[in-house]
Chain A
């Protein structure tokens, strides 16, 4: 399978700060997606970003598939951004997840 590594494992921010989350993957794939798991446990798809850059409000993501990494940017963080962020890739019929970055935004 593919190894998916995320960093940092934990992040604490003051409200209004910016942050960058990283996802590295071990094989050449072009189907990376980012998820947010909110404090109630719900997993929400943020971005499907096989390559290039996408933006959605205060969040943006960039994937450089040739170098096997993706970055998730959170600007002007809010308390509602708290939770765990996962990246995942698909190889054949299986999806592989990183262990996540746990983000806490303090008011």
Chain B
């Protein structure tokens, strides 16, 4: 019962480098999402997915790509990292039944620093 697993926990990049943040869940959740958390700004939605093969943009999608080839995995790709993408990233998922669809379960977070 791992829940939502994010890797890596910490990453330092140079401007212009690319990388992928991994997110996997073992709860058979249909809904998965990525957030970034910056000081004083709460959690902002980057991208989300309501099922395999379906993704959509959130509030702050620029500079990020996602794909959802399986129910379990929802990777977040930074194509060309910028210092403005220095943040803590959280992956979260929720189920599909009426109540569980509204209850988010979070991963432990990934702290990214772009120099």
Q: Which of B42, B48, B88, B109 contacts A94 (CB 8 A)?
A: B48
Residues of B within 8 A of A93 (CB): 31, 48, 50, 56
The main secondary structure of chain B at its interface with chain A is strand
Chain B nearest CB: distance from A62 CB in Å? 17
- The answer to whether the Cβ of B33 comes within 8 Å of any Cβ in the partner chain is yes
| Beta-carbon contact of A97 and B103 below 8 Å | no
Residue in chain A with minimal CB distance to B100 = A48
A35→B90 CA distance, assembly (Å): 14
* Binary CB contact string for chain A from 8 to 37 against chain B (1 if under 8 A, 0 otherwise): 000000000000000000000001010100
Q: Which residues of B contact A35 (CB under 8 A)?
A: 104, 106
- Which of A43, A45, A50, A86 gathers most chain B CB within 10 Å? A43
Q: List chain A residues, Cβ under 8 A from B109.
A: 41-43
Say yes or no: is B53 at the interface (Cβ < 8 Å to chain A). Answer: no
- Do B104 and A45 have beta carbons less than 8 Å apart? yes
Could you tell me the distance between the alpha carbons of A95 and B44 in the complex, rounded to whole angstroms? 9
The residue on A at minimum CB distance from B35 is A97
Q: Is B105 an interface residue (CB 8 A)?
A: yes
Q: Which of A42, A45, A95 gathers most chain B CB within 10 Å?
A: A95
Given A43-B106, A48-B99, decide whether A98 and B48 contact each other with a Cβ distance below 8 A: no
- Chosen A-B contacts, 10 in total, with CB atoms closer than 8 Å, are A33-B102, A33-B104, A35-B106, A48-B103, A88-B43, A90-B102, A93-B31, A95-B104, A97-B42, A99-B42
